[in-house]
């Protein structure tokens, strides 16, 4: 019995198969590798709307496949894919008038449903205004630096930091309205 | 992209508590959107020509060696479809030409058969005419109470037939003599003539 070496396929190899011969099985492999993470990210940025998140994920793969031949592999494929997904999320939120960079004073409008005495973290994030939510997801969950966020969103680092500050404060209000009223939050 | 949530916040940031950091870290990083989205995405890519169709399979992993793929690039599929359309169009044109030729032949055959049919029809009606006259004369054994009206109809039919034969063959002497006999009879009795022909429709 002859032993066979299992050679794992790299993202680049799969991408070259897709670009070179339109290999469907290579695409499926690449899709299955990266979609669960992409979908979770997009779902959070879109505020938990599953149907919209699915549309964005599909569009992300279509756009990525169109531009796959031009990808230089100087960064991770996953990061590149997330960037495409983020842009599509922003475009979708903007086109529907939901992407607004809210001023500080408007944070008072971010309130949980009065029937919900306490909500979980995931729901609190979904209730944040899209601009704040995106920065918080990128920084506090995905681990991007402010410089990277600023580059991706086309804003200054200062704006990114300011938005994160506002996002965290709003999130705390949502998670513990009573504590916020007592002045626990800075 | 590194984890720097506690150190990259700047003076404007709001520090996260340890419990908040733990809660954020515990959030799931992955979620399966389901098989339907994969199929939908694959179909969309196929329609865009970005991937080729994988016949008889649904998502088998690509071989590690990457050798032996059964897929064709999109342009080959497009070329195959174009060739198929050209072949179909060529076949259609050829069929139309052959069909037209067959139609002409078929019409020719019908016309040729039409002459024979007309002759057969004349023969059949002529036979019926003679048979009816035979019955009229009693040669077939049947009883004939009054023959005058039937005789008039028979002569009129004969006269009309002679007129048609003269039209078909103006130089035919027999038809001309038949008509001359009718004219002589008409002049004698005043019943037949060019001015008061009895028209009988058959």
> Is A65's CB within 8 Å of B9's CB?
no
Using CA atoms of B54, A34, A44, A89 in order, give the dihedral in degrees to the nearest 10: -60
The predicted model gives A150-172 an average pLDDT of: 92
pLDDT in tens, B62-74: 544 333 333 445 5
For residue B68, count other CB atoms closer than 10 A to its CB.
6
| Residue A44: closest C-alpha in chain B | B29
DSSP A50-77: HHHHHHHHHHHHHHHHHTGGG--SSS-H
Return the HEC string of B5-33: CCCCCCCCCCCCCHHHHHHHHHCCCCCCC
Averaged pLDDT, groups of 10, chain B, 202 residues long? 49 74 93 96 95 60 40 54 61 58 55 67 76 69 66 77 77 76 73 44 40
Residue B62 dihedral angles phi and psi, to the nearest 5°: -70, 140
For the question of whether the overall pTM of this predicted structure is more than 0.80, the answer is no
Separation between Cα atoms, residue B19 and residue A28, nearest integer Å = 39
Of A21, A36, A144, the CB nearest to B32: A36
Q: Which of residues 111-140 of A touch B (CB under 8 A)?
A: 121-122, 139-140
Measured between CB atoms, does A69 come within 8 Å of chain B? no
Q: Which residues in A lie closer than 8 A to residue B42 (C-beta atoms)? A: 24, 27-28, 31
Which of B2, B12, B33 lies at the smallest CB-CB distance from A57? B33
CA angle A153, A156, A160 (to 5 degrees): 70
């Amino acid at each position: 019995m002859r032993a066979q070496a299992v050679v794992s396929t790299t993202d680049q190899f799969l991408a070259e198969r897709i670009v070179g011969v339109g290999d469907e099985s290579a695409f499926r492999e690449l899709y299955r590798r990266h979609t669960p993470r992409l979908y979770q990210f997009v779902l959070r940025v879109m505020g938990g709307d599953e149907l919209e998140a699915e549309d964005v994920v599909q569009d992300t793969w279509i756009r990525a496949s169109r531009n796959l031949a031009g990808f230089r592999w100087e960064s991770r494929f996953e990061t590149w894919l997330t960037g495409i997904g983020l842009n599509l999320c922003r475009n979708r939120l903007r086109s529907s008038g939901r992407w607004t960079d809210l001023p500080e004073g408007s944070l008072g409008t971010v309130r949980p449903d009065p029937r919900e005495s306490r909500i979980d973290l995931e729901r609190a994030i979904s209730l944040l205004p899209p601009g704040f939510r995106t920065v918080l997801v990128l920084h506090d969950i995905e681990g991007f630096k402010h410089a990277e966020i600023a580059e991706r969103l086309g804003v200054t680092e200062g704006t990114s930091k300011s938005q994160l500050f506002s996002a965290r404060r709003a999130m705390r209000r949502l998670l513990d309205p009573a504590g916020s009223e007592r002045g626990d939050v800075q | 992209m590194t984890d720097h949530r506690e150190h990259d916040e700047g003076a404007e940031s709001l520090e996260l508590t340890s419990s908040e950091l733990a809660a954020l870290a515990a959030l799931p990083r992955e979620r399966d959107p389901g098989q339907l989205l994969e199929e939908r995405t694959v179909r969309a890519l196929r329609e865009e020509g970005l991937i080729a169709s994988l016949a008889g399979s649904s998502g088998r992993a690509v071989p590690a060696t990457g050798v032996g793929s059964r897929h064709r690039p999109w342009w080959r599929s497009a070329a195959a479809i174009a060739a198929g359309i050209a072949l179909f169009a060529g076949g259609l044109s050829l069929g139309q030409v052959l069909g037209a030729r067959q139609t002409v032949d078929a019409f020719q055959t019908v016309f040729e058969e039409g002459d024979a049919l007309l002759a057969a029809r004349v023969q059949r009606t002529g036979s019926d005419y003679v048979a009816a006259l035979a019955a009229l004369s009693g040669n077939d054994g049947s009883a004939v109470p009054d023959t005058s009206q039937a005789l008039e109809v028979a002569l009129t039919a004969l006269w009309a037939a002679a007129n048609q034969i003269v039209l078909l063959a103006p130089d035919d002497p027999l038809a001309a003599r038949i008509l001359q006999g009718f004219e002589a009879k008409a002049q004698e009795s005043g019943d037949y003539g060019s001015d008061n022909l009895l028209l009988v429709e058959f």
